[in-house]
């Protein structure tokens, strides 16, 4: 099983390689999911690829973000530049980008990023047509579910084993985008899940006893279940951490290398993983759903390894029942529920039995400390020094045995051959061997050559055996041998670093973009836009009751667990509307019964929200429409999705108005549906707050379905409230409290040829649903002025309305070194 490590600097690359990595993944400058890392220059990436390949370590370039239409058209040259670096693969989120790379370099290997939210074998089957050879599965899958996927595909499977756990499904998190205009799907995650929140149940604040970090998962560690993972036949084990330190990378690589090589992880290695960075560890979702074990709740930052509990506090010291050894110079953190953590350096340690007196920095105020608080070791110069030495020195260099043959005769050039078991290189000297004034014995040459060829400490090689056939009467000195050796080593390095690049041509990429746009226009352009159609998405059967007689085209049902769709479906049709059903946002192994139920009910159309469901219904006779969760951010992605059987698609919610209209102008508006008014989804997560905070239960059915009897709202650090909703598989979505209205875009949308429009409800009363539809339909029919419609619909909302990021034309940029190529 491949061990895959993160790289954001050359030091991290060395740390990974010298501690056992089989492969590295590196962010592409300007287009990767870790926008806060420093971008490497192309020359640095090229050198890391060379360094790695010499040592038989693969390199993958991560372009795991959505690509806007305005960018895709200009990316061809940049993509070819990256292809020419000869990476082993690209890790890609965006469907349009995957198609572009294949157009430019058909032989280039592609991996589907976890940002594609791949959670089923059905999704893999659908995406296989794009040429992906590997799929990075969502972190929310259990070992049992991974096993089922692996048994139903021949594609390579990669899973995360260690590092930070996002609370939201990757590729489906819109929290940073909604709260601050920083899209996680563009590598700009604002870490909203690491902030404190307050929880309100049925309008009353719930006591959290200091556990305000409701969405901050503990870090993932798969070490306890490595043997089970190996048994699954998974091809690659991935460590998260491009924002972490080289020392962290070294320690993680060494620990997982040990267990993969059937060695026991040492106590020091385990301590290193905790001290270098951890928020506490769990196996995440690998052992199945356990809502009570995922989030500790008291903190969201690095805490390290627990030392023990404070027994006594004095002016400059504390007494701790110690579980972990502490040394002078270490960093120590103190924490208690509801108290802001604080810490300082250790000056001295006195131990008596199990109790240690830890003498602290005399300038630090111990008055904030109380007996009963917990102490953590969260910084250790000793541990950092150890792991830095592992990659800054040559002791742990990954080495390959070589055989050396040397041949030389007076009056001829010297011939030197290096073999590494796979490659063989030969070099000849620039000089002709002259006769020596005094011939030397064979032992002299043996020692000279063996000493020089044994001196390979600065290389990736070690001398396995050596032979020579050298004329004793010829003259040669150590410098001449060394220069010849250096030439041979450079040639061997080059041979090992060589990877046949796939044929590529940026003109093919530009032609592909033009072809997509041309096909789109020919297929969908009309002289006049079609008459506007309005649909409404309802989440409660009662919301249908007041719809009769309204100018609606269709109603989409998106109900909670256990709701019978039969009567609502009949009621919608009786009112004269098309009745649609929405799939869930996620479809995992064992969850096709929901899809089969939709099939049995035979609605007039299906709103498809995930790739697995699209694969399931692709050949169905029921009309299909794609939702925003499919992440169509450019025309190439939209066209491919439409070609899988969709009649329409809602663009990704990551697009602001400028990006949206660039998409519509490049193609045509007819196949796109636009939500004019909706509660924007923020987190979409496997974790259930209802189960944790109302039932204190690890999972369903122990939770007793409390989500059906109670409501939850979340108060953020800005003082704004948001609604929590559970779906039929107990997954929670946090909806932004202020709905986003796009009514001001309507005139321009009509000009672009868009005729499909949607309203989305949440907890609205039937009367409110009716009024909202009357307002928007009045605007569509020209019976209401735009400003009047915006004011009236805003008056219907509990917390007012917002335009979200629709009119935010700026793109967040981190102040960091950047070598993003102009595109």
Alpha-carbon span 52 to 29, nearest angstrom: 19
pLDDT of residue 336: 87
Q: What is the mean pLDDT of residues 506-534?
A: 89
Alpha-carbon span 532 to 781, nearest angstrom: 9
**Separation in Å, CA 42 to CA 26, 45, 814:** 11, 5, 19
Least trusted range by pLDDT, from 524-528, 619-623, 644-648, 699-703: 524-528
Alpha-carbon span 730 to 561, nearest angstrom: 8
pLDDT of residue 823: 31
Sign of CA dihedral 145, 148, 151, 152: negative
Asked if the model's pLDDT at residue 814 lies above 80, the reply is no
User: Which pLDDT band holds residue 819 (cuts at 50, 70, 90)?
Assistant: very low
User: Which pLDDT band holds residue 544 (cuts at 50, 70, 90)?
Assistant: very high
Q: What is the mean pLDDT of residues 469-478?
A: 93
CB crowding 155-169: b at 16 or more within 10 Å, else e: bbbbbbbbbbbbbbb
**Separation in Å, CA 267 to CA 172, 255, 326, 471:** 37, 10, 15, 56
Q: Who wins on pLDDT, 260 or 820?
A: 260
Asked if the model's pLDDT at residue 817 lies above 80, the reply is no
User: Which pLDDT band holds residue 821 (cuts at 50, 70, 90)?
Assistant: very low
Asked if the model's pLDDT at residue 149 lies above 70, the reply is yes
Cα Rg of the chain, angstroms: 31
Asked if the model's pLDDT at residue 816 lies above 50, the reply is no
Give this prediction's pTM: 0.94
Asked if the model's pLDDT at residue 778 lies above 50, the reply is yes
Q: Who wins on pLDDT, 41 or 814?
A: 41
Q: What is the tens place of the pLDDT at every residue in 431-451?
A: 999 999 899 999 999 999 999
Q: What is the mean pLDDT of residues 320-338?
A: 88
631 three-state secondary structure: coil
Average pLDDT value for the chain = 93
pLDDT of residue 679: 96
Q: What is the mean pLDDT of residues 90-99?
A: 97
pLDDT of residue 35: 65
Asked if the model's pLDDT at residue 756 lies above 70, the reply is yes
Which element (helix H / strand E) includes 51?
Answer: helix 42-54
Structure tokens that stand for 247 in this block: 């020392």
Strands 732-736 and 681-685: antiparallel
Q: What is the tens place of the pLDDT at every residue in 669-705?
A: 999 999 999 999 999 999 999 999 999 999 999 999 9
Contacts of residue 4, Cβ cutoff 8 Å, sequence gap at least 6: 21, 22, 23, 24, 25, 60, 158, 236, 237, 238, 239
Alpha-carbon span 709 to 714, nearest angstrom: 17
Asked if the model's pLDDT at residue 644 lies above 70, the reply is yes
* Among candidate residues 537, 569, 538, 559, the one with its CA nearest the CA of residue 728: 559
Q: Is the Cβ–Cβ distance between 595 and 616 less than 8 Å?
A: yes
Least trusted range by pLDDT, from 162-176, 183-197, 709-723: 183-197
* Among candidate residues 136, 33, 79, the one with its CA nearest the CA of residue 636: 79
Percent of the chain with pLDDT over 70: 98
pLDDT of residue 747: 94
How many helices (H) and strands (E) in the chain?
Answer: 25, 35
**Separation in Å, CA 651 to CA 168, 358, 440, 675:** 20, 58, 80, 10
User: Which pLDDT band holds residue 322 (cuts at 50, 70, 90)?
Assistant: confident
Asked if the model's pLDDT at residue 820 lies above 50, the reply is no
User: Which pLDDT band holds residue 382 (cuts at 50, 70, 90)?
Assistant: very high
pLDDT of residue 813: 54
Adjacent-strand bridge partners of 219: 281
Q: What is the mean pLDDT of residues 728-746?
A: 95
User: Which pLDDT band holds residue 170 (cuts at 50, 70, 90)?
Assistant: very high
Neighbours of 339 (CB within 10 A): 14
Which element (helix H / strand E) includes 601?
Answer: helix 592-601
pLDDT of residue 815: 43
Which element (helix H / strand E) includes 311?
Answer: strand 305-313
* Among candidate residues 379, 343, 380, the one with its CA nearest the CA of residue 361: 343
């Amino acid at each position: 099983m491949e061990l895959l490590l993160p790289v954001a600097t050359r030091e991290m690359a060395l740390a990974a390689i010298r501690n056992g990595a089989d492969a590295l993944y590196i962010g592409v400058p300007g287009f990767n999911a870790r926008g806060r890392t420093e971008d490497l220059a192309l020359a640095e990436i090229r050198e890391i690829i060379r360094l790695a390949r010499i040592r038989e370590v693969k390199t993958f370039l991560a372009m795991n973000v959505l690509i806007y239409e305005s960018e895709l058209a200009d990316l061809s040259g940049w993509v070819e530049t990256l292809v020419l670096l000869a990476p082993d693969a690209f890790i890609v989120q965006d469907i349009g980008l995957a198609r572009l790379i294949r157009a430019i370099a058909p032989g280039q290997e592609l991996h589907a990023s976890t940002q594609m939210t791949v959670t089923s074998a059905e999704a893999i089957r659908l995406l296989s047509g794009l040429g992906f050879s590997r799929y990075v599965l969502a972190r929310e899958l259990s070992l049992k579910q991974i096993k089922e996927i692996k048994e139903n595909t021949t594609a390579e499977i990669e899973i995360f084993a260690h590092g930070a756990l996002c609370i939201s499904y990757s590729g489906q998190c819109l929290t940073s985008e909604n709260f601050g205009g920083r899209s996680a799907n563009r590598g700009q995650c604002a870490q909203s899940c690491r902030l404190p929140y307050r929880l309100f149940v049925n309008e009353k604040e719930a006591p959290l006893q200091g556990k305000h970090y409701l969405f901050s998962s503990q870090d993932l560690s798969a070490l306890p279940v490595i043997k089970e993972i190996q048994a699954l036949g998974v091809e690659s084990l991935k460590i998260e951490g491009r924002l972490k330190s080289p020392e962290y990378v070294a320690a993680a690589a060494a620990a997982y290398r040990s267990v993969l090589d059937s060695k026991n992880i040492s106590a020091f290695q385990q301590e290193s993983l905790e001290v270098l960075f951890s928020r506490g560890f769990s196996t995440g979702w690998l052992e199945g759903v356990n809502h009570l074990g995922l989030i500790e709740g008291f903190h969201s930052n690095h805490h390290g390894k627990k030392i023990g509990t404070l027994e006594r506090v004095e002016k400059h010291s504390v007494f701790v029942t110690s579980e972990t050894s502490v040394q002078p110079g270490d960093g120590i953190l103190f924490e208690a529920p509801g108290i802001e953590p604080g810490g300082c350096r250790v000056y001295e340690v006195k131990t008596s039995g199990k109790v240690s007196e830890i003498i602290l920095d005399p300038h630090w105020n111990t008055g904030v400390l109380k007996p009963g608080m917990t102490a953590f070791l969260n910084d250790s110069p000793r541990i950092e020094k150890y792991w830095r030495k592992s990659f800054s020195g040559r002791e742990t260099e990954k080495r390959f045995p070589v055989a050396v043959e040397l041949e030389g005769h007076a009056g001829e050039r010297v011939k030197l051959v290096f073999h590494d078991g796979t490659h063989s290189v030969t070099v000849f000297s620039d000089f002709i061997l002259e006769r020596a004034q005094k011939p030397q014995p064979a032992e002299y040459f043996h020692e000279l050559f063996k000493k020089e060829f044994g001196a390979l400490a600065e290389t990736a090689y070690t001398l396995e055996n050596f032979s020579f056939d050298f004329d004793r009467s010829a003259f040669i000195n150590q410098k001449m041998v060394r220069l010849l050796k250096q030439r041979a080593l450079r040639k061997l390095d080059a041979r090992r670093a060589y990877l046949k690049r796939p044929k590529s041509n940026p003109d093919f990429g530009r032609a592909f973009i033009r072809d997509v746009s041309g096909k789109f226009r020919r297929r969908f352009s009309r002289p006049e836009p079609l008459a506007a159609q309005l649909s409404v998405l309802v989440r409660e059967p009662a919301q249908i009751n007041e719809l009769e007689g309204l100018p609606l085209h269709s109603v989409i049902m998106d109900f909670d667990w256990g709701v019978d769709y039969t009567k609502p479906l009949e009621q919608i049709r009786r009112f004269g509307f098309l009745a649609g059903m929405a799939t869930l946002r996620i479809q995992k192994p064992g969850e096709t019964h929901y899809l089969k139920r939709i099939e049995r009910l035979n609605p007039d159309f299906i709103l498809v929200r995930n790739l697995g469901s699209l694969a399931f219904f692709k050949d169905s006779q029921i009309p299909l429409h794609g939702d925003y969760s499919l992440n169509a951010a450019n025309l190439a992605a939209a066209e491919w999705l439409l070609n899988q059987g969709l009649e329409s698609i809602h663009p990704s919610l990551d697009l602001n108005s400028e990006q949206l209209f660039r998409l519509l102008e490049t193609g045509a508006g007819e196949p796109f549906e636009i939500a004019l008014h909706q509660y924007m989804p923020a987190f979409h997560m496997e974790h259930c707050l209802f189960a944790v905070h109302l039932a204190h239960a690890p999972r369903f059915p122990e939770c007793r379905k409390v989500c059906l009897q109670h409501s939850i709202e979340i108060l953020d650090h800005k003082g704004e409230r948001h609604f929590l909703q559970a779906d039929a598989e107990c997954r929670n979505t946090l909806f932004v409290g202020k709905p986003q209205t796009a009514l001001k875009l309507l005139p321009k949308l009509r000009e672009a040829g868009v005729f499909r429009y949607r309203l989305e409800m949440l907890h609205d009363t039937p009367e409110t649903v009716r009024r909202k539809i009357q307002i928007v339909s009045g605007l569509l029919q020209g019976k209401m002025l735009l400003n009047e419609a915006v004011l009236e619909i805003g008056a219907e909302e509990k917390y007012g309305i917002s335009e979200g990021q629709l009119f935010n034309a700026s793109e967040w940029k981190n102040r960091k070194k950047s070598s993003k190529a102009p595109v």
